[in-house]
Amino acid sequence: MSTPSLTLITGASGFVGRWTSAAFAVRGLPVVATGRSAPALLPGVLRGMTLSPAHDDEHVRTCLRGVRTVVHLAARVHDVHGHTSDEEFDAVNCRWPQRIAELAAQEGATRFIFMSSIKVNGDVTVPGRPFTEASDTRPLGGYAVSKARAELGLAELAERTGMDVAVVRPPLVYGPGVGANFLSLMRLVKRGVPLPFRAIHNARSFIYVENLADLVVRLASAPTQPRHTEVYLASDGEDVSTPELIRRMAAAMDRVPRLVPSPGLRTMLRLAGKGGLVQRLWESLQVDSSKARAALQWTPAISLDEGLRRTAQAMAGS
């Protein structure tokens, strides 16, 4: 019986990284889990090691020893407050994955899976016209631009080194351990705070963290295609409006949603310099994941309602 190939996961201590490491482990696929601090050794995780852009090439090579697949999840995340410079985004989200991929190819790795973002395609879609892999790339802001540049660099590296590169572009990822705006909204719903979003008519895609982790495992297990780069968009496959999301959140927490109209709120927020918030609440952002479903025989196992229920349970226990 052959030994499963070894996979290195960067950012294994993060939100998506923890779930992805666990997804490999429960399937008996050996993992080297790395992060800025050494990740906890889950069953099936052979080694937990520190790994960051500050480490020299020799340390990176040590982490990569025996690895055939790299799953790169480490990133400087999207900064809604504008405190991260374009240079910082570029250093962590663009140059760092290219450096790891280059060294991984030299050490004999054959596949590099890069967690990108749907923001590479843009921030808004026309309702009913979701982004697909054929959509133009129109990144806005340092975070999205750094991810787009990384994708281009990895495609060039694949052609030059013979490595297989798979790029995943998810929308907002939610689940137990989620933070930022999604968690804040769930807390407001739980507290019964009146939310002035009843009149919003949009459609937005999301992906539950375990569904995303399962997709990564499937990519890691698929046959490699040397000198090839493939892009996959990922989502749960159920698009909802902002008020409908709030209703689903409320149901998951056994609460009654308090949605009220607020004429003029959108304009007032824009005038107050809150255009980003307006975009996330009022605009559509739809993702078509049919390519990943067909090519990888991948079906998201956790529905939006079940994902919200599990997220709510974790929030209650934290």
Beta-bridge mates of residue 69 = 7, 111
Cα–Cα distance, 8 to 1 (Å, whole number) = 22
Q: Which helix (H) or strand (E) holds 31?
A: strand 31-35
Q: Which of 143, 174, 208, 232 is catalytic?
A: 143
Strands 111-115 and 45-50, sheet pairing: unpaired
CA nearest 244: which of 234, 255, 262, 259? 259
Angle subtended at Cα 55 by Cα 49 and Cα 59, rounded to the nearest 5 degrees = 60
Yes or no: say if 71 and 113 are a contact pair by the CB < 8 Å rule: yes
Per-residue CA distances from 297 to 111, 118, 132, 213, 291 (Å): 19, 21, 18, 14, 9
- The answer to whether 174 is a known catalytic residue is no
Residue 20 parent element (H or E): helix 15-26
**And the tokens for 272?**
């107050």
CB 160 within 8 A of CB 107: no
Residues with a catalytic annotation lie at 143
